[in-house]
Amino acid sequence: MSFPLLAVSSGEPAGIGPDICLDLPQAGLNAHCVVFGDKNLLAERARLLGKPVRLRNYCAGMPSEPGVLDICHIPLRAPVRAGVLNTANAAYVLDILDAVYRGVEDGRFAAMLTAPLHKGVMNDAGGAFFSGHTEYLAEKSGTRQVVMMLAGGGLRVALATTHLPLHAVPGAIDKPLLLSVLRILDGDLRRKFGIAAPKILVAGLNPHAGEGGHLGREEIDIITPALSAARAEGLDVHGPFPADTLFQPFMLKDADAVLAMYHDQGLPVLKFASFGQGVNITLGLPFIRTSVDHGTALDLAGSGRADSGSLMAAARLAAEMAACTNGGRRA
C-alpha cells in the first residue's frame, strides 16, 4: 500500500523537534515521513530517551517499514546539548528548511511538515532578519501573500493579520487585504481540503462588531464592503460577527472556517479546544505545508516529557491534504 511522502523538518536541534520526530514511526500514520536533520543527533536523542526506533538513510523510492524512521542526513554546524541554544546552528536550521523546500518544490515529496524553530537564535546569529517559517517559505517560492490558518478541536481559524502589535492591527486591515485573504482561504479549502463550496464566517474587529459604528467604523467602512465584494465573486462568506459570540456551536455547525481579524482574537479559542493537537497550515503556497502549534520547548528537550501530539496531527492532516490534491508524490 502506498502512502503520501512527507518531508519533515526537525527544526531547532536544541529543542523538542528531534524528540517528537522520533515518535513518527509509532504513530500509525497513513503517510511515509522522511525526517531531514542530523542522523547522529537523532540517534543520540533516541538513546537518551530510550525510544525504540531504528534510523535508516533514505533513498528515493524505498518503501516505509514499521518501526523505522527514514532520515535525509543534514550535518550539524556545531555540537548540540538539549535545551541549550547555539547561534552556530542557525545555519543548520536553514540548511534543513532549504532541503525540505527543494523536496516539495520539485515534486519529490507530497507535503512539507515543520517542527518548531527558534526565531530568536536565528536572528541572534546575524544575517538577514528571519521572521518565521511562513515568511521564509513565501519568499523562497515567490508567493506574494500567504494566510495562516490553525486547525484543531473541530475548528479551522484563519487570520487576516498575524504577528502584529495590537495597536497596528486596525491600520493593517483594508478592503484589498481582506478580499485577497478570503480568496486564498476559499481557494485552498477547495483545492487542499476538498471542500466543494466552503462556508466562511468572518469576525468583526471591534467589540460587538462595532455596534453600528458606536464602537468603531471598521466593520461599516472596510469589512462589510470586502464581504460584499467577495460574495459578488461567488464566495460564501458571512459576517462580520461579534467575536465574543461567533465561536458558539450553533454558529459554527455549518461553517468550514472562521476568519479572525488578528492573532489573539481567534487563536485562544482554537488552542483551548485543541492545544497539543492543533495544526498550523500555511495557505496560499504552491505546495502543502503544515506545522505544529507550539514552540521549541527548550525546558522539555531531552527530558522525555515532550508531547508529540501536534506533530502527529500535522502529519495526518498533511497526508489528507495530499490525498485531496491528487498530485502528491506517493511512496
Tell me the pLDDT tens digit for each residue of 192-229.
999 999 999 999 999 999 999 999 999 999 999 999 99
Residue 280, number of CB atoms within 10 A of its CB: 23
Which amino acid, one-letter code, is at 172? A
Distance between CA atoms of 258 and 256, rounded to whole angstroms? 7
* Residue 47 in grid coordinates: 538513546
- How many residues belong to the chain? 331
Share of the chain above pLDDT 90, in %: 87
How do strand 199-203 and strand 257-260 relate by DSSP bridges? parallel
- Residue 214, annotated ligand binder? no
Query: Is residue 330 predicted with pLDDT exceeding 70?
Result: no
pLDDT score for 172: 97
Give just the sign of the alpha carbon dihedral 202, 205, 208, 209.
Answer: negative
CA atoms within 13 A on the CB side of 116: 23
> What would the mean pLDDT of 137-153 be, rounded to a whole number?
95
pLDDT score for 15: 97
How do strand 32-37 and strand 147-152 relate by DSSP bridges? unpaired
Query: Is residue 49 predicted with pLDDT exceeding 50?
Result: yes
DSSP 8-state symbol, 87: G
- Distances in Å between the Cα of 24 and the Cα atoms of 54, 78, 173, 267, 268 are 11, 25, 40, 26, 27
> What would the mean pLDDT of 16-34 be, rounded to a whole number?
94
* Residue 88 in grid coordinates: 552556530
Q: Specify whether the backbone of 132 is left (phi greater than 0), alpha (psi in -120 to 50) or beta.
A: left
- Residue 289, annotated ligand binder? yes
* Residue 184 in grid coordinates: 486564498
- Residue 119, annotated ligand binder? no
Q: Are 265 and 207 in contact (CB under 8 A)?
A: no
Query: Is residue 70 predicted with pLDDT exceeding 60?
Result: yes
- Distances in Å between the Cα of 197 and the Cα atoms of 26, 187, 188, 246 are 36, 10, 11, 21
- Residue 245, annotated ligand binder? no
Q: Is 56 helix (H, G, I), strand (E, B) or coil?
A: strand
Higher-scoring residue by pLDDT: 330, 90: 90
- Residue 294, annotated ligand binder? no
- Residue 73, annotated ligand binder? no
Distance between CA atoms of 324 and 190, rounded to whole angstroms? 9
Distance of CA 136 to the CA centre of its chain: 13
